[in-house]
């Protein structure tokens, strides 16, 4: 199949909407990462997503809506906490898990009786959903296990020949996937941190818990709140290890290991202090920029031609929690504390 990369003109959005209604899958930009979208009500189309990505069958998809009236047909009820969160953070990078209605196929939820819903803010995503006229089931548009794509070029690298259309909306504003939360009787649990942060959620909801799987490794056979937690994620081909230390200690550590074929993932301007090949991911302390650059940086690591990458430790506050969550997975939870 030939993969066309097109700009988000009215004509192209109209055509992509028709492709979706005809049962095709289309890659679209969102404010977080690119998504690979299908008509939520067409299980054959949904299956194509799993095939194109090589996605494990037990990992459910997020359903994207373009206005709040699209929500109630997809869910059994809208609990008061969900309503509050939706009013505060939608449209935007927050995904809320609801009890699903009968109209949502089990192919979308991987057999679960819950459904993850997101109302994105990206204009192109909203225009595409509008054009298709149905909610769109869409995971990130990467090959399963790789970093989520933050440019159309990343999508093309992973899915060329496997999907008909990629809508190029430039690079994604946030750069990390949406925050995923589930509702509890007295609060919420954070299943995946993102740009709607723990701190932001805590201002709106009384009890915000962080699921154990956010910061810790879960084994393949464990029962988890979100199936995505137990799958291998974000791993470059090159082995990554995080060094929890200050800059001086990091520079010394690299010097001591410089006789090996290693590289470093560091903050801006630190590369001049380091004698091995480096990739940078934004200024230290600016976690908005780090979030935006992390996935491109993880992709660039494999081009260095080194056997192992040592990475600087991100700060874990605000969006930093999401950065750490992705990086520690890329590192297979290998962290050295100096």
| Site residues for ligand TXA per CB under 6 A | 30, 32-33, 35, 59-62, 95, 97, 109, 112, 114-116, 118, 138-140, 177-178, 180, 191-192, 226-228
Residue 150 near Mg ion by CB under 5 A: no
Question: Nearer Cβ to ligand TXA, position 173 or 177?
Answer: 177
Return the range that interacts with Mg ion (CB under 5 A); candidates 22-30, 134-142, 191-199, 311-319. 134-142
Structure tokens at 281: 């991911």
Q: With CB under 5 A as the rule, give the number of residues binding Mg ion.
A: 1
Residue 179 near Mg ion by CB under 5 A: no
Question: Nearer Cβ to ligand TXA, position 75 or 311?
Answer: 75
Work out how close the CB of 74 gets to ligand TXA at its nearest, in angstroms, rounded to a whole number.
Answer: 11
Residue 278 near Mg ion by CB under 5 A: no
The three-state DSSP-derived secondary structure of the chain is: CCCEEECCCHHHHHHHHHHHHCCCCEEECCCCCCEEEEECCCHHHHHHHHHHHCCCCCCCCEEECCCHHHCHHHECCCCHHHHHHHHHHCCCCEEEEEEECCCCCHHHHCCCCEEEEECCCCHHHHHHHHHHCCCEECCECCCCCCCCCCCHHHHHHHHCCCCCEEECCCCCCCCCCCEEEEEECCEEEEEECCCCCHHHHHCCCCEEEECHHHHCCCCCCCCCCCHHHHCCCCCCCCEEEEEECCHHHHHHHHHHHCCCCEEEEECCCCHHHCCCCEEECCCCCCHHHHHHHHHHHHHHHCCCCCCEEEEECCCCCCCHHHHHHHHHHHCCCCEEEC
Work out how close the CB of 186 gets to Mg ion at its nearest, in angstroms, rounded to a whole number.
Answer: 30
Return the range that interacts with Mg ion (CB under 5 A); candidates 101-109, 120-128, 140-148, 270-278. 140-148
The Cα-based distances of 35 to 5, 27, 140, 255, 280 in angstroms read 14, 6, 4, 41, 25
Among Mg ion, ligand TXA, none, what does residue 62 contact (CB within 5–8 Å per kind)? ligand TXA
Among Mg ion, ligand TXA, none, what does residue 165 contact (CB within 5–8 Å per kind)? none
Question: Nearer Cβ to ligand TXA, position 174 or 279?
Answer: 174
Work out how close the CB of 141 gets to ligand TXA at its nearest, in angstroms, rounded to a whole number.
Answer: 7
Structure tokens at 179: 């925050």
Taking phi first (over 0 means left), then psi (-120 to 50 degrees means alpha), and beta for anything else, what does residue 269 get? left
Work out how close the CB of 265 gets to ligand TXA at its nearest, in angstroms, rounded to a whole number.
Answer: 22
Among ligand TXA, Mg ion, none, what does residue 290 contact (CB within 5–8 Å per kind)? none
Task: Give Cα 127 distance to the centre of its chain.
Answer: 21
Cα separation, 75 vs 80, in Å, equals 14
**Binding Mg ion by CB under 5 A: which of 32, 107, 140, 189?**
140
Question: Nearer Cβ to ligand TXA, position 138 or 243?
Answer: 138
Strand partners, 115: 98
Question: Nearer Cβ to Mg ion, position 140 or 290?
Answer: 140
Work out how close the CB of 50 gets to ligand TXA at its nearest, in angstroms, rounded to a whole number.
Answer: 11
Question: Nearer Cβ to ligand TXA, position 227 or 277?
Answer: 227
Question: Nearer Cβ to ligand TXA, position 309 or 321?
Answer: 321
Work out how close the CB of 238 gets to ligand TXA at its nearest, in angstroms, rounded to a whole number.
Answer: 22
Structure tokens at 293: 């650059």
Work out how close the CB of 121 gets to ligand TXA at its nearest, in angstroms, rounded to a whole number.
Answer: 11
Residue at shortest CB range from Mg ion: 140
Question: Nearer Cβ to Mg ion, position 32 or 197?
Answer: 32
Work out how close the CB of 53 gets to ligand TXA at its nearest, in angstroms, rounded to a whole number.
Answer: 9
């Amino acid at each position: 199949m030939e993969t066309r990369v097109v700009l988000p003109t009215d004509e192209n959005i109209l055509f992509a909407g028709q492709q979706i209604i005809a049962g095709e899958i289309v890659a679209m930009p969102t404010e977080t990462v690119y998504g690979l979208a299908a008509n939520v009500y067409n299980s054959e189309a949904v299956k194509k997503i799993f095939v194109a990505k090589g996605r494990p069958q037990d990992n459910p998809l997020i359903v994207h809506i373009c206005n709040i009236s699209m929500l109630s047909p997809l869910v059994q009820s809208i609990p008061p906490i969900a309503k509050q969160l939706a009013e505060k953070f939608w449209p935007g990078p927050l995904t809320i898990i609801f009890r699903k209605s009968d109209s949502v196929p089990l192919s979308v939820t991987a057999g679960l009786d819950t459904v993850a819903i997101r109302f994105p803010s990206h204009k192109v995503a909203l225009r595409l959903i509008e054009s298709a006229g149905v909610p769109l089931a869409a995971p990130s548009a990467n090959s399963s296990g790789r970093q989520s794509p933050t440019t159309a070029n990343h999508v093309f690298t992973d899915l060329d020949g496997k999907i008909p259309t990629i809508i190029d909306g430039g690079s994604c504003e946030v750069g990390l996937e949406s925050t995923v939360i589930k509702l509890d009787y007295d609060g919420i649990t954070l299943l995946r941190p993102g740009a709607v942060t723990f701190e932001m959620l805590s201002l709106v909801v009384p009890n915000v818990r962080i699921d154990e799987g956010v910061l810790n490794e879960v084994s393949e056979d464990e029962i988890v709140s979100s199936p995505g937690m137990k799958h291998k994620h974000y791993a470059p081909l090159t082995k990554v290890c995080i060094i929890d230390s200050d800059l001086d200690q990091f520079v010394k550590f690299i010097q001591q290991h410089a006789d090996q074929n290693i590289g470093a993932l560091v903050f801006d301007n630190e590369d001049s202090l380091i004698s091995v090949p480096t990739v940078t991911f934004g200024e230290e302390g600016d976690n908005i920029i780090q979030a935006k650059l992390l996935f491109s940086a993880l992709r660039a690591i494999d081009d260095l031609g080194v056997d192992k990458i040592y990475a600087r430790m991100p700060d874990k506050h605000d969006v930093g929690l999401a950065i750490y969550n992705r990086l520690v997975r890329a590192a297979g939870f290998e962290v050295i504390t100096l």
